[in-house]
Amino acid sequence: MSEGPPEEPDMLERAVEATLFASEEPLAVDAISAHLGGLAPADVRDALACLEMRYRARGVHLVERGGRWHFETAPDLAHLMRREKEQVRRLSRAATEVLAIIAYHEPVSRAEIESIRGVQTSAGTLDVLMEAGWVRLAGRREVPGRPVIYATTPQFLDHFGLASRRDLPGIDELRAAGLLDPVDEAMEAALEGVVRFDPDEADDEGHRDG
């Protein structure tokens, strides 16, 4: 606590703290500042930074998720907290896959989801995700047929403890490996260079007879 905030929180910090404690949902800087009678957003940000540091060692943390702030219990206490009833709905495997595909590719159409999964996605799967508040309709893609496209919501970031989509586990690696590119693009890339898979092919030939 030596490097960070002063010993005693000032009025402004206390007000931001109380506001976030009392709020039923995460609040963006603007919302906090509006609630506190038009406090300068810069002051709110300072207060948030102080609070965030102040709570780091505590059983409750102040976290930012998708630009919105809230308090939550410290993750390392999860084993103690789980004792209470689990409030999380169990997602089917299909739903978790669809959610991941949307999160890593958003915005994405149903056809694109299906082309990755290789199977049709039942309407119920997307419904479940939208009902959970994690997925939303994000307009239409301006291609023939104008398909509806889907994206994740701020609640999705909240729920999975992501500060932003850049926090999605492994997203940088996946992107770097081209694994978020459509298959067609990957095909072109693969065929352009040395056809990497030819040497293996010879190997496979062997297996074929084996």
Nearer to another protein, 73 or 164 (CB): 73
Chosen from another protein, a second copy, none, partner binding at 13 (C-beta under 5 to 8 Å by type): a second copy
- The answer to the question of residue 43 lying near another protein (CB under 8 A) is no
Nearer to another protein, 137 or 183 (CB): 183
Q: Closer to a second copy by CB, 70 or 165: give it.
A: 70
Q: Site residues for another protein, window 69-108 (CB under 8 A)? A: 70-75, 78, 81-94, 96-97, 99-101, 103-104
Nearer to a second copy, 2 or 210 (CB): 2
Beta carbon of residue 40, minimum distance to another protein (angstroms, whole number) = 19
Q: Which does 208 bind (CB under 5 to 8 A by kind): a second copy, another protein, none?
A: another protein
Partner in contact with 7, chosen from a second copy, another protein, none, beta carbon below 5 to 8 Å by kind: a second copy
Residue 210's binding partner among a second copy, another protein, none (Cβ under 5 to 8 angstroms by kind) is another protein
The listed partner (a second copy, another protein, none) that binds 86, CB under 5 to 8 Å by sort, is another protein
Residues with Cβ within 8 Å of residue 67, at least 6 apart in sequence: 28, 29, 154, 164
| Least distance from another protein to the Cβ atom of residue 2, Å | 27
Secondary structure of the chain as H, E, C letters: CCCCCCCCCCHHHHHHHHHHHHCCCCEEHHHHHHHCCCCCHHHHHHHHHHHHHHHCCCCEEEEEECCEEEEEECHHHHHHHCCCCCCCCCCCHHHHHHHHHHHHHCCEEHHHHHHHHCCCCCHHHHHHHHHCCCEEEEEECCCCCCCEEEEECHHHHHHCCCCCHHHCCCHHHHHHCCCCCCHHHHHHHHHHCCCCHHHHHHHHHHHHHC
